[in-house]
């Protein structure tokens, strides 16, 4: 039997089973390449469907008993799905929407899997990315604490007051705690983890001081206090090779999505505000 794509596995198996329960007429998906194992009330269960679920459930090709049990389960699910189909469940709005989303997700996941298989991340790409990350990380790590302020102007005013000695960091921290503002201690960071302009200020900040710029985040404008600085210990390439490869793959996927998004012909049919009202 042909082995199925590793990237889908259990999630895709659940999609297949739930799609059957939603009453999909699988005749529309059949092609001449499909081998029909059985018809249940004229609805097909194919060899490809069985192979797919065997892969997802971890049923070996020589496990005759496990294969038979899975096949019987599929027939029972198909029988229930047929009742849903003849009862008109497939015509309900929410069911139609759910089936369309699952069909879209299945095509998306399979395309991404195929693209990654046909365009693997090379060792040369991993090594280049590793060297770039090492350069960008610099030689130091910074143990920081962050206080989130909702207003940029207030964050800037406090940074100036701290720099001029009008306030101590502890005073700012105590006031923020009393106001219920968010105070976080994310631990050790390096300059490659923050925007370039902020990184420039970060590397010039001595322990015990705050960075001369607030950092904009979804949580607000952060005042960053540098508690300590230590030398950065760079891991060997072999220790992080898989993580670097995953990051490169994710970056490439985002670029691919943006490319196809820009090339797509998008025709608005109904304003979102009106759709929400309906």
DSSP secondary structure letters along 168-237? -HHHHHHHHHHTT--EEEEEEE-GGGS-HHHHHHHHTPPTTSB-SS-EEETTEEEEEEEEEEEE--PPPH
The three-point CA angle 98-104-110 to 5° equals: 130
Confidence of residue 269 (pLDDT cuts 50, 70, 90): confident
- Tokens for 12? 């895709």
Q: What is the pLDDT of residues 151-189, one digit of tens each?
A: 999 999 999 999 999 999 999 999 999 999 999 999 999
* Domain membership flag for residue 89: yes
- The residue with tokens 């206080």 is 147
Where residue 19 falls among pLDDT bands split at 50, 70, 90?
Answer: very low
90 and 96 in contact (C-beta within 8 Å)?
yes
pLDDT, tens digit (0-9, with 9 covering 90-100), for 212-252? 999 999 999 999 999 999 999 989 999 999 999 999 999 99
d(CA 179, CA 173): 10
Of 14, 31, 244, 243, nearest to 109 by C-alpha is 14
> Mean pLDDT in the chain?
88
User: Which CA distances in Å does 219 have to 150, 158, 199?
Assistant: 8, 18, 19
Mean pLDDT of all residues in 245-261? 95
**Is residue 15 located within the same domain as residue 99?**
yes
Write down which residue in 231, 246, 267 finishes a domain. Answer: 231
Query: Residue 65: what pLDDT?
Result: 95
**pLDDT above 90 coverage of the chain, percent:** 79
CA-nearest of 167, 154, 181, 169 to 224 is: 169
Separation CA 191–CA 75 (nearest Å) = 57
Summarize the confidence of residues 13-18 as an average pLDDT.
Answer: 42
Together in a domain, 145 and 96: no
Task: Please tell me the predicted confidence (pLDDT) of residue 27.
Answer: 64
Residues 142 and 201 in one domain: yes
| One domain, residues 67 and 24 | yes
First-to-last alpha carbon distance for the chain, in angstroms, is 48
Tokens of 26: 């699988």
What is residue 277's predicted lDDT score, i.e. its pLDDT? 62
Is 132 inside any structural domain?
Answer: no
pLDDT score, position 270: 76
How many distinct structural domains can be found in the chain? Answer: 2
pLDDT per residue as tens digits for the range 75-97 = 999 999 999 999 999 999 999 99
Q: How remote is the C-alpha of 33 from its chain's centroid?
A: 34
Are the C-beta atoms of 75 and 40 separated by less than 8 Å? yes
| Same domain flag for 146 and 48 | no
Give per-residue pLDDT as tens, 38-89: 999 999 999 999 999 999 999 999 999 999 999 999 999 999 999 999 999 9
Q: Is residue 272 part of a domain?
A: no
Q: Using pLDDT thresholds of 50, 70 and 90, give the confidence band for residue 29.
A: confident
- 226 and 143 together in one domain: yes
Claim to verify: residue 142 and residue 106 sit in the same structural domain? no
Q: Considering the domain boundaries, does residue 143 fall inside one?
A: yes
Q: How much of the chain is in helix, strand and coil states, percent to nearest 5? A: 60, 15, 25
Q: Let me know if 155 is exposed, middle or buried by CB neighbors in 10 A (0-12, 13-18, 19+).
A: buried
Instruction: Say which residue the tokens 């309900």 belong to.
Output: 92
The DSSP bridge pattern shows strands 36-40 and 183-189 to be unpaired
Q: What is the pLDDT of residue 276?
A: 59
- Bridge partners of 143? 188, 228
Residue 50: which domain range? 9-118
Asked whether residue 125 is domain-assigned, the answer is: no
At residue 13, does pLDDT exceed 70?
no
Q: Are residues 33 and 86 in the same domain?
A: yes
229: β partners: 142
Assess whether 40 and 78 both reside in one domain. yes
Among 59, 89, 118, identify where a domain stops.
118
Indicate whether 1 belongs to any domain: no
Do 146 and 175 fall into the same domain? yes
Shared domain check, 163 and 103: no
Q: Does residue 237 fall inside a structural domain?
A: no
- ∠ CA 208-210-211, rounded to 5°: 130
- Residue 45 in any domain: the answer is yes
Residues 145 and 194 in one domain: yes
């Amino acid at each position: 039997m042909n082995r199925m794509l590793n990237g889908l596995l259990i999630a895709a198996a659940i999609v297949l089973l739930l799609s059957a329960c939603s009453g999909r007429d699988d005749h529309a998906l059949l092609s001449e390449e499909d081998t029909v194992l059985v018809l249940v009330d004229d609805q097909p269960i194919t060899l490809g469907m069985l192979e797919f679920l065997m892969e997802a459930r971890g049923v070996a090709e020589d496990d005759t008993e496990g294969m038979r049990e899975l096949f019987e389960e599929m027939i029972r699910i198909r029988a229930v799905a047929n009742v849903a189909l003849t009862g008109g469940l497939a015509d309900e709005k929410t069911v139609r929407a759910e089936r369309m989303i699952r069909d879209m997700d299945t095509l998306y996941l399979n395309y991404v899997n195929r693209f990654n298989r046909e365009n693997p991340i090379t060792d040369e790409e991993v090594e280049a990315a590793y060297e770039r990350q090492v350069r960008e990380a610099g030689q130091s790590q910074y143990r920081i604490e962050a206080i989130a302020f909702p207003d940029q102007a207030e964050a800037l005013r406090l940074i100036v007051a701290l720099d001029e000695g009008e306030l101590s960091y502890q005073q700012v921290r105590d006031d923020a705690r009393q106001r219920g503002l968010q105070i976080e201690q994310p631990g050790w960071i390096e300059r490659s983890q923050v925007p370039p302009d902020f990184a420039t200020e970060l590397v010039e900040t001595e322990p015990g001081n705050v960075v001369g710029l607030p950092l904009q985040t979804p949580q607000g404008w952060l005042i960053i206090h540098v508690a300590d600085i230590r030398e950065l210990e760079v891991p060997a390439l072999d220790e992080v090779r898989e993580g670097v490869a995953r990051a490169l793959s994710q970056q490439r996927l985002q670029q691919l999505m943006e490319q196809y998004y820009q090339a797509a012909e998008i025709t608005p049919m109904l304003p979102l505000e009106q759709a929400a009202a309906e």
